[in-house]
C-alpha cells in the first residue's frame, strides 16, 4: 500500500486571532500518525505546543500534481501558503472532486 499525501497545518490556538498559523506542509504517510511523524522529522512541526489540523489522506493526486515539488515535504510559511499556494488550499478544503 502506497503512502497517501496529507496536508498538515500547525497553529497556536492561544495566539491572538490572525497570528495563530505557524506552518504547514504536504507530507506522505499511511496514517495521520505517520504523516505527523514524517512532518516532525522534516522540521515542519514548530514545537510541542503546536496543534495540528490534518486534511488527508484525501489530498488526492490531482491537487498534488499542481503543488510544485519544491513545496512538498518541507515547512511552508504563511507567505508561501497565501501568495503562492492559495489556490491549493481552497481545493483541499473543498475536498475531493466529485
pLDDT at 96: 47
Query: Mean pLDDT across the chain, nearest whole number?
Result: 78
- Cell numbers given for 47: 514545537
Mean pLDDT value of segment 66-82? 88
CA–CA gap between residue 95 and residue 55 (Å, rounded) = 9
The DSSP secondary-structure symbol of 75 reads: -
Which has more confidence, 66 or 25?
Answer: 25
Mean pLDDT value of segment 65-85? 87
CA–CA gap between residue 37 and residue 54 (Å, rounded) = 12
Which has more confidence, 51 or 30?
Answer: 30
Q: Could you report the per-residue pLDDT of 6-35, keeping only the tens digit for each?
A: 888 888 888 888 888 888 898 888 888 888
Amino acid at each position: 500500500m502506497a503512502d497517501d499525501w496529507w496536508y498538515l497545518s500547525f497553529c497556536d490556538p492561544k495566539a491572538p486571532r490572525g497570528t495563530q498559523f505557524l506552518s504547514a506542509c504536504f507530507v506522505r504517510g499511511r496514517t495521520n500518525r505517520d504523516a505527523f511523524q514524517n512532518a516532525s522529522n522534516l522540521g515542519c512541526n514548530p514545537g510541542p505546543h503546536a496543534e495540528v489540523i490534518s486534511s488527508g489522506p484525501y489530498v488526492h493526486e490531482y491537487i498534488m500534481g499542481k503543488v510544485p515539488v519544491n513545496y512538498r515535504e518541507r515547512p511552508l510559511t504563511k507567505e508561501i501558503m497565501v501568495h503562492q499556494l492559495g489556490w491549493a488550499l481552497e481545493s483541499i478544503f473543498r475536498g475531493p472532486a466529485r
